[in-house]
Structure 1
Amino acid sequence: MTEQQIGKWVKPYGDTMDDGRVQLSFSLPVALDENAKEAARRLALEMGLIEPGVVHAEDMGQGFSFYVVYGQCKHRVDLACIKVAKPEFEALDKDGINALIAEKMRRKMVVVGACIETDAHTVGIDAIMNMKGYNGHKGLESYHEVRAINMGAQVDSEALVARAIEEKADVILVSQVVTQKNIHLDNLTKLSDLLEAEGLRDRIILVVGGPRISHELAKELGYDAGFGPGSYAENVASFAIHEWTRRHAA
């Protein structure tokens, strides 16, 4: 049988291949004592771990405690059956992006970015937009063919749309870090709906990034692309110029 027929099955390993060893951590809303440790162990059993053990427990104060549990996972997955949706584009470096923008647009690409609504975490939007960028990858402010406008954090969606109209933006880039109670879904839907109401959705390239953002989720919410952890300015800019070129093809 071929590998495709039998699949490409994988499971976690720690000491030896396929031993299924995993480590997980969680908090419980109870004070730390022996009963709480046992509760953590039994929760791991209910999750399906074999022979789980609490290897670390810590009091968090005010009736909360934290646990690290080590155990054996019995499950495996078939990689041959997995295909994750992702933006389709040719990844370019900074010079290549600048050259393509100059060739195709014959002007600077205007990108307006922000953390919207109650989200006050600027680390994501700053990593993509700011001059210094992140992890050795320069941000969009350093691209001489991009005019990058970073509006910062806690920006109302209405204000972001108004600024995009004022600046004649080609791209709106949104970062969403806060995801408690799925607030990011409400925020992102609101922005997409506002652009639709203004008749701008087809004209502006709409991109979102964040730790719990996937391309599949972004598309479901009406965005053109979604970028998760490990994405840099060149990923966003490469997608943007390719998407702009596609939309403006003769």
Structure 2
Amino acid sequence: MPRTATTVRPYGDTTDDGMVQVSFTLPVPHGPLADGAALQLARKMGIDRPLLVHSKPIGRDFSFFVVYGPVVHEVDLDEIEVVEREYPLLTAKEANSAVSERLGRKLVVLGACIGTDAHTVGIDAILNIKGFAGEKGLEYYKELKVLNLGAQVSVPELVRRARVEGADAVLVSQVVTQRDAHLTNVKELAAELRAEFAEHERPLLVVGGPRFDPGTAAELGADRVFGRGTTPSDVASYLVHALTGAELTG
């Protein structure tokens, strides 16, 4: 296929050499057979002339590999769809002013980690006043009422609290991804919120975590999905944009 100005390949030693390094585990006892299986898999993944640079047993029946080599694939940047931020980032002062002027009351935010997920680092980074990446969390915003329910909150309990507290937005952080538990939990919560609330009163469902794709909000039933590197101002600015209806500039 002819190359275009927007077509790119991975960079390893020299421009356009296509070099990548991948790691994976196979359910095969360590040995020559396992090594051969790893190389065959690498070729089927599109790695040309793969080099097996690391191989070791993991217990009796599994083997771990690191493979290095050039991929035959390339990426056309013009074909990639990304979620662009359609609102400006606001300072805490700007966000507070918009909420006060547009809502005339505090904006109620309910946060939790749902299901069996006990990893609260993400939700705490966004909500707690100590914040993340040099930014203070949503508790710092005087026009936001923030309730952090913590870890392992069941979906029915979170929906119940959303009703009791009059939540404008429900923020959910999910880190545990085994068997796509994070996706299942969010879909369940989205369905329960829609069953409990009329559409005009349903709180926004905002989801975050390092393994989420921001482009999957509609698929999950969420209003917004945030991925890696999200900061409190990202979330606060979105909430103000979505819930106040303000034509924001800044």
- TM-score, structure 2 as length reference: 0.89
Check whether the contact 1:107–1:145 (CA below 8 A) recurs between aligned residues: yes
Q: Which amino acid in the other structure matches residue 209 of structure 1?
A: G
Matching of residues 122-161 of structure 1 within 5 Å: 122-161=120-159
- After the TM superposition, which of the residue ranges 45-54 and 80-89 deviates more from structure 2? 80-89
State how far apart, in whole Å, the 2-side matches of 1:6 and 1:15 are: 21
TM-aligned CA deviation for residue 74 of structure 1: 1.3
Moved more, 14-23 or 27-36: 27-36
SS in 2 for 1:50: coil
Amino acid at match of 1:228: G
1:214 alignment counterpart: 213
C-alpha RMSD of matched pairs (Å): 2.1
CA displacement at 1:78 relative to structure 2: 1.0
In structure 1, distance between residues paired with 2:134 and 2:35: 43
* Pair 1:31 & 2:29 matched: yes
Q: Distance in 2 between matches of 1:10 and 1:233?
A: 33
Deviations 1:48-79 (A, max 9, x none): 11111111223322422221110101111111
Aligned to 1:68: 66
- 1:72-101 per-residue CA deviation (whole Å, 9 max, x = no partner) reads 011111112222134522222333222322
Q: Percent identity?
A: 49
DSSP-derived class of the 1:90 partner: coil
Distance 2:198 2:185 in 1: 18
State whether residues 27 and 67 of structure 1, in contact with CA within 8 Å, keep that contact through their aligned partners in structure 2: yes
One-letter amino acid of the structure 1 residue matched with residue 183 of structure 2:
L
**Greater mean deviation of Cα atoms: 100-109 or 14-23:** 100-109
Count of aligned pairs = 244
Runs of 4+ in 1 over 4 A off after TM superposition: none
What secondary structure, in the 3-state scheme, does the structure 1 residue paired with 2:65 have? strand
Q: Which runs of 5+ in 2 are unaligned?
A: none
- Per the TM alignment, residue 201 of structure 1 is displaced from its structure 2 partner at its CA by 4.2
Unaligned runs of 5+ in 1: none
Residue number in structure 2 paired with 1:224: 223
- Superposed CA deviations along residues 109-136 of structure 1, whole A, max 9, x for unmatched, are 2100111122222222122112222232
